[in-house]
Amino acid sequence: MRARVLLSLLAVALVAAPFVVSGYLVSVLIVALYFAYVGQAWNIMMGFAGQLSLGHALYVGLGAYTAAALFVQSGVPPWLGLIAAIIVAMAFAAAIGFLAFRFGISGVYFALLTIAFAEFTRIGFDHFGWVGASAGLFLPVSQRSGSDLLALRGTPTMFYYVILALAAGAFALSRWLLTSRIGFYWMAIREDQDAAQALGIDTFRYKLAAVVVSAAMTSIAGVFFAFYYNNLFPEQIFSIGRSIEIILGPIIGGLGTLFGPVLGAFVLQLLAEALREGVSALGLEIPGLTQVFYGVCLLVVVMFLPNGVWPPIARRLRL
């Protein structure tokens, strides 16, 4: 009950935000919501099912490139491109998951495998002429006279509502998954795979499901990314730095919790932005400052709140 009230208040605040705050702050919120969304997608795989992916940028990149290339090269509208993007990401995820789980690769080795796939996909796209190779892929930017949701072209406010809807949808989906049979099975696998199997759980199938669901959700973020930023470079979108950025939110907010990834993304992005602003107001420019800040946040959380920021807050709020 309390949780519902607080969640409704948050929803109202987020829906009203573009009417209240400046355009600059809306763009900051878009980034925060973007990370809240991908963080939740990653949390399904690691937080729920215990399968560590350090290469989630792979699915962002695949989603982004699939939809963007279809749009640029063949004029395929983004919502159709989105379906293609999801299919491509799911196919990659199923292949990786099949390889890993069929041959019993787990833990650190599985994480290394996810990095390897992200890396060689990056190198592949660097030489993939149809999508611009290392020179990048650019989406034509039309005059922003109005918003066209079907073409995914429009004002930052439109993009704000799109990513807000995605983040809210991911939250609802996560909640539903966590309270149904698949969620219990994922947590059992995360806690002890042998015991899970002894209770009749087909661990191979459920781990594969976690990877595929997470990848599908992440690829949608990629489509958003492509149409929001309008330029894609393999070097950037598939980079391991991007993969790490995705996982910071859930780790800082609280792995495996529903609200942790959302809270983590907001705390991290808003603080990082405040820091950038503060430093530039002092007339300084320090390259790499954001990364150092991420590192410090991670350090503090790992040392003092190993379960993340959210669980103690949830206790305090008696949720």
Partner 1 sequence: MTALLAVEGISKRFRGLKAVDDVSFTVPKGGIVALIGPNGAGKTTTFNLIAGVYAPDTGRIVLDGEDITSLRPDRACHAGIGRTFQIVKPFGAMTVLENVVVGALRRSADVAAARSRAAELLERVGLADKAAMPAQGLTLPEKKRLETARALATEPKILLLDEVMAGLRPTEIDRMVETFRALNRETGIAILLTEHVMRAVMALSDRIVVLHHGRKICEGSPEQVARNEAVLESYLGTEAVS
Cβ within 8 Å of residue 57, ≥6 positions away? 118, 237, 238, 239, 240, 242, 243, 246
Judged by CB under 8 A, which of 184, 229, 266, 293 binds partner 1?
Answer: 184
Name the helix (H) or strand (E) containing 131. Answer: none
Q: In angstroms, give the least distance from the CB of 279 to partner 1.
A: 39
Judged by CB under 8 A, which of 52, 111, 115, 187 binds partner 1?
Answer: 187
Q: How far apart are CA 257 and CA 311, in angstroms?
A: 8
Backbone torsions φ then ψ of 184, nearest 5 degrees: -60, -40
Report the site for partner 1 in 247-306 (rule: CB under 8 A).
256
Q: Is 235 in the site for partner 1 (CB under 8 A)?
A: no
Q: Is 102 in the site for partner 1 (CB under 8 A)?
A: no
Q: In angstroms, give the least distance from the CB of 24 to partner 1.
A: 41
Q: How far apart are CA 94 and CA 30, in angstroms?
A: 30
Q: Is 103 in the site for partner 1 (CB under 8 A)?
A: no
Q: Is 197 in the site for partner 1 (CB under 8 A)?
A: yes
Helix (H, G, I), strand (E, B) or coil at 137: strand
Backbone torsions φ then ψ of 147, nearest 5 degrees: -100, 135
Q: In angstroms, give the least distance from the CB of 185 to partner 1.
A: 7
Report the site for partner 1 in 145-174 (rule: CB under 8 A).
none
Stretch that binds partner 1, among 30-38, 144-152, 157-165, 183-191 (CB under 8 A): 183-191
Judged by CB under 8 A, which of 73, 107, 123, 192 binds partner 1?
Answer: 192
DSSP designation for 54: S
Q: How far apart are CA 33 and CA 31, in angstroms?
A: 5
Amino acid at the residue 187? M
Judged by CB under 8 A, which of 142, 180, 280, 291 binds partner 1?
Answer: 180
Q: Which position has the token pair 């919501």?
A: 33
Stretch that binds partner 1, among 18-26, 188-196, 220-228, 259-267 (CB under 8 A): 188-196
Q: Where does this chain bind partner 1 (CB under 8 A)?
A: 179-181, 184-185, 187-188, 190-192, 194-203, 256
